[in-house]
Structure 1
Amino acid sequence: MRRIEHRLCHASRSGFDHLRLSAKCGLALFALGVAAALPAMGQEADNAAVQPTPLADTILINGRIFTADAFSSTAEAVAIADGKFLVVGSNDAVRATAGPGTKVIDLKGRMAMPGITDMHIHPVRGGLAERTYCKFSESAPIGELLAMVGKCAAAKKPGEWIEGAEWNSVLAPTLDKAMLDRVAPDNPVYLHDNTNHVVWVNSAALTAARVDRSTVPPPGGTIVRDPQTGEPTGIFRESAMGLIFSAKPKPDKATIEAAAQSVFGKLNAFGVTSIQSAQASAEEVAAFRNLETEGKLTVRVRTQWDFNPNLAPAPPAAMLGRFDSREERGPQTELIDPDGAKIYADGIALGAGSPYLEPYAMAPTYGHAAIDRMALFDAVLQMDRLGLAIMIHAMGDAAVRTSLDAIEAARRANGTRGRRHVIAHTFSVDRADRGRARALDVVFENSPPVVLFPNDLMASTEGVLGRKRLRETSPIRSLLDAGDVVAYGSDWDNIPEPDPWLALQALVTRQNPAAPDRGYIGRGEAVDLITGLEILTINGAFGLGLEKRTGSIEVGKDADLIVLDQNLFTVPPDRIRHTKVLHTILRGKSVFVRR
């Protein structure tokens, strides 16, 4: 039936377009299905009489279950057997599948929905940050921040690295290595900003990395220098961060695995059941595989191997060679898809690290790409040929256009049967490029959610890009109307928490959930609640190429489901952020229950 839908029907303009039928087309398909079924009805009745109805392992009854199916329907109950949805419908239909050993969960009117897909997250980095970082708030003044670093240094042995986060990127022009030298003279210090595109380090870190006034920054990177002496000030932007990062000691296997497991538990508590892990390393993939073997992996994971960013483990040419071999990636499994690759087309607008079609407001520049245009084309061509699912980081509208051009060229050369690709962030997309992604089988991923509402970071962005471009940030409604698919990503740990309910409220209101008085960003780009829920669920599954397995509650799909403490259809939009997940189920197995 799905194939018939694709051949006979045009999609509507909603979030998961190609699975929606217009009323006219739906009636035509219904008639076609009835006609095709009539000759076999007698045989099916005979089979039904012979074959017993399968018994459910678990049933959930008395709920309001948002299915995210083609009709955005709701159901009272679901039955689960062997990790799949067996029945979706009424209480009576579901109770008929119960046997003596069936577990019965009474939802008592609560809302349930499909598990959430986070299309852009850094789980191990975030897990390590929670366990080992020197932590401080991005709103902390410099004095408080330095005091915290001094406290962290006191707990370290001389020579041990201090890694911390997250300071506000707008402070960068006021910071230097001498500040950190005073509070941590005997320890290399490496501090991330709140975008993870800038780091602040001290003299000990520069010495450990062998970086001095003669060091040449890599393409796309900036070493901020003292205008009088030419010495590095301690601020490194974009790819130049890798000069210091490569000198840091790497965590051991046990630490990585513990960090990953703790984060997956955190994600389950937010209702997340599938993720795309950006910037994955071989060590991280090995940790995921070990957790799966031990039955402790509680999310689906697609890993994105770094290609050209500041933290890539090898030069671009070497990385392309590594992608060509499955030896390092390993096989696909039920929960792990290691066949993704991440390319950086640009950085961020602050510091002119993103190329734009029109000049920046702050200076006569169009911004800077992270990779040469032809190198990007070559990488996409080869990765697409190898069957990799590519995520391209593209913030500026010129970077988005170049990324779409590269994918279009690869589709012409390799054919259209390659894997679905993703353009990350959906920050600025020119009007002429809206609608192109759908034709190329590309999904726009929107992250981090904080770009949807006014805050200090976006206030700084206004000065960089100008009022008009700021108001056109994240044109989600326009992309959906043009036929493109938009999915959700948190981009944690670049934000305080990977909380999808904050993102959902921002999608619906375009306000800052914590400070609505700050106003709106692109109010006309707000979406309705159902579309927002689809962005978090079925659209994300589509982005991972898993729409036939998960993302909606339909018979035969994996039983990924979450139960909420409030009905999102009856609470005011400003209450969405307060949603708590009570129960998370992955493939029929409970992976989180709120106590």
Structure 2
Amino acid sequence: MMRPELIFHHGKVFTADAAASRAEAIVVAGGMIVAVGHDLDVKSLAGPGTRMVDLGGGMLLPGIVDVHNHHLRGGQADLYELKLLPTMSFDAVLEAVRARCATTKPGEWVFGGIWGSQLVEMIGRASSLAELDAVSGAHPVMLRDDSQHNRWVNSRALELIGIDAGTPDPQDGQILRDVETGAATGLLLERASGLAEQAVERSIPDLAERNKASCRRAVEILNGFGVTAFQDATTTLPFLEALAALDRANELNGWCVASLPAQRTLSGADLVGDALIVRRETYRTRHVRPDFIKLFMDGVPTTRTAAMLTPYRATRLQGCCFCGDPLISIPDLVRWIAKAEKHRMRVKVHCTGDAAVRDTLDAIDVVRSFNGSGNGVGATHQIAHAGFVAPADIPRFRALDVAADLSPIIWYPGPIQEAIRAAIPEDRADCYWPLRDFHAAGALMAAGSDWPVVANPDPWLGIEGMITRRNPRSGYEGALWPEQALDLETVLRIYTVNAAQAMGLSDLTGSIEAGKSADFILVDRDLFATAPERLSQTKVLSTWFEGRQVHEAG
């Protein structure tokens, strides 16, 4: 064993190992955990230069592993963007835009978010565009919604983007238009959002440096919430470049698994699919792992773009039997999954509707029939946002070695759930996130924040919500399908070792065991002695990555 550099003792250590063991002390050397055990046994390993850290009875657990975020976008939002809350009224959003425009140089873009899905019908009106124009003057404006799939822009932005009454809808996207005049109303759905994002990026002269600063800030924020490993859910080439540059400068304090988009993205990235995948090894570093291909099977239920097995509520435009449409055919999806496995990669497939989930499982089933599961890549593919899942499909996750990438911070009662209820019949809308059924079926569940769809990547909100099925924030009453609640130990594993396994990092991190990276956090309470409805108040006192302290509570 290497000479002990650090010994953390007199603690309550939740290891998340396979035996569900508890410990009191750990030994760190060379950035690795080299021993775990009881105080008397571990303290006896100390040498002349060993630093002893008394935990004072505090709780130590593995670093949080966030299986789904958009970290650079989160850092960018923190540093540069207008901040809105999804609970804000239409008038409050307009007032925030007015105030930001008043302090922004003439003609510069004002962009940010997020506005709540409950505003989507109002924002889609021509009269709302006129109100946005009135408060923004000569400034082009772009505002993202709480799903990050849609954008609201003003008339100056439409002009700069090049959208007029004759502009055709992009593939898999829609430019919402006034029914009478045909003019764009300023609401851009799905892939049309990329037109706005590209226009904003063209206006930034130092984009590469801004991306690095955003990436650096994002990891600082993640470390502050105890996150030491994460999967970026849609990693375009500029994001890869920023990650690799930071890591080569020894400034990346976390493991990052990258998901390379196979299709045009919501940000409008040009380099996708094979052209991006072939470059991935150029950006592989010790901590950056470009090991996933990202695919989108559908949109989101709030705008009726999720592919569902049963119809949405009837509307005048879509009629009584509209279920949404998948974005990829099963044969094309089979080809992408087979290609991923040929490249020793995995897929992360965005599916918010139960029809999209079923199609993806069917495609993976086809590939399993000729590749099997022992294909040398670990073979665990991910279905992201597995919230609406038909009961018959739940056992297929384990049978096909598919991980459920969950987004617990966004599903409990709140603005998004209210918007889903407006689109989907209530009895179906509330059968959302069948966590206990997944657990009973032995499915691998991993949790992600989907930040900046949520304001910050605070895992403790999701941990409490998985246990209570209630919104930890005030203002939203009731529980969402409370029969699907989980216990604390199961949830902590979902946020640590399970997520590491789903990302292909379980040999490196996710649990406190000898031979793994010294990635762990000290929290301000014994989680197992805390009332479930107070878990969201948990604070991270310190975060350690590879045996280095990367966060200390102020």
Superposition TM-score, scaled by structure 2 size:
0.93
- Per the TM alignment, residue 129 of structure 1 is displaced from its structure 2 partner at its CA by 1.1
Alignment partner, residue 469 of structure 1: 428
Instruction: Show CA shifts across 1:437-477 (max 9, x none).
Output: 222222101015220x2113212212322222223200111
Instruction: Show CA shifts across 1:188-221 (max 9, x none).
Output: 1111111112211111111111111222212332
Alignment partner, residue 195 of structure 2: 243
Alignment partner, residue 571 of structure 1: 530
Alignment partner, residue 188 of structure 1: 140
Instruction: Give the Cα separation in 1 of the matches to 2:267 and 2:344.
Output: 21
- Per the TM alignment, residue 330 of structure 1 is displaced from its structure 2 partner at its CA by 1.8
Alignment partner, residue 264 of structure 1: 219
Matched, 1:520 2:485: no
Instruction: Give the Cα separation in 2 of the matches to 1:133 and 1:179.
Output: 21
Do the aligned partners of residues 230 and 373 (structure 1) sit closer, same or farther apart at CA in structure 2, a change above 3 Å counting?
farther
Of 271, 278, 302, the residue aligned with 2:233 is 278
Instruction: Give the Cα separation in 1 of the matches to 2:268 and 2:94.
Output: 31
Residue identity in the other structure for 2:390: D
- Per the TM alignment, residue 248 of structure 1 is displaced from its structure 2 partner at its CA by 2.1
The aligned runs of 1:7-156 (5 Å cut-off) are 54-156=2-104
Residue identity in the other structure for 2:274: G
Residue identity in the other structure for 1:555: A
- Per the TM alignment, residue 233 of structure 1 is displaced from its structure 2 partner at its CA by 0.6
Instruction: Give the Cα separation in 2 of the matches to 1:324 and 1:125.
Output: 21
- The size of the alignment, in residue pairs, is 539
The aligned runs of 1:528-539 (5 Å cut-off) are 528-539=487-498
SS of 1:518's partner is coil
Instruction: Give the Cα separation in 2 of the matches to 1:468 and 1:533.
Output: 30
Aligned 8 A contact 1:320 1:379 in 2: no
- Per the TM alignment, residue 93 of structure 1 is displaced from its structure 2 partner at its CA by 1.3
Instruction: Give the Cα separation in 2 of the matches to 1:435 and 1:116.
Output: 27
- Per the TM alignment, residue 258 of structure 1 is displaced from its structure 2 partner at its CA by 1.1
Aligned 8 A contact 2:194 2:268 in 1: no
- Per the TM alignment, residue 415 of structure 1 is displaced from its structure 2 partner at its CA by 4.1
Alignment partner, residue 427 of structure 1: 387
Aligned 8 A contact 1:322 1:328 in 2: no
Matched, 1:485 2:449: no
Alignment partner, residue 504 of structure 1: 463
Of 272, 287, 290, the residue aligned with 1:319 is 272
Larger radius of gyration: 1
Aligned 8 A contact 1:87 1:93 in 2: no
Matched, 1:580 2:532: no
SS of 1:387's partner is coil
Instruction: Show CA shifts across 1:364-417 (max 9, x none).
Output: 211122333433333223223222221100010000011111222223344431
Residue identity in the other structure for 1:289: A
The aligned runs of 1:68-467 (5 Å cut-off) are 68-175=16-123, 176-250=128-202, 251=204, 252-311=207-266, 319-325=272-278, 327-330=279-282, 332-362=284-314, 363-416=320-373, 417=375, 418=377, 419-451=379-411, 453-467=412-426
Instruction: Give the Cα separation in 2 of the matches to 1:97 and 1:283.
Output: 46
Aligned 8 A contact 1:324 1:386 in 2: no
Mean Cα deviation higher: 327-336 or 529-538: 327-336
Instruction: Show CA shifts across 1:519-538 (max 9, x none).
Output: 11111111101001100001
Do the aligned partners of residues 313 and 519 (structure 1) sit closer, same or farther apart at CA in structure 2, a change above 3 Å counting?
closer
- Structure 1's consecutive aligned runs of 4 or more residues displaced over 4 angstroms after TM superposition are 312-315
Instruction: Give the Cα separation in 1 of the matches to 2:310 and 2:15.
Output: 43
- Per the TM alignment, residue 491 of structure 1 is displaced from its structure 2 partner at its CA by 0.2
SS of 1:566's partner is coil
Instruction: Give the Cα separation in 2 of the matches to 1:101 and 1:558.
Output: 21
Mean Cα deviation higher: 408-417 or 502-511: 408-417
Residue identity in the other structure for 2:235: A
Instruction: Give the Cα separation in 1 of the matches to 2:266 and 2:73.
Output: 12
Superposition TM-score, scaled by structure 1 size:
0.87
Aligned 8 A contact 1:170 1:460 in 2: yes
- Per the TM alignment, residue 309 of structure 1 is displaced from its structure 2 partner at its CA by 4.5
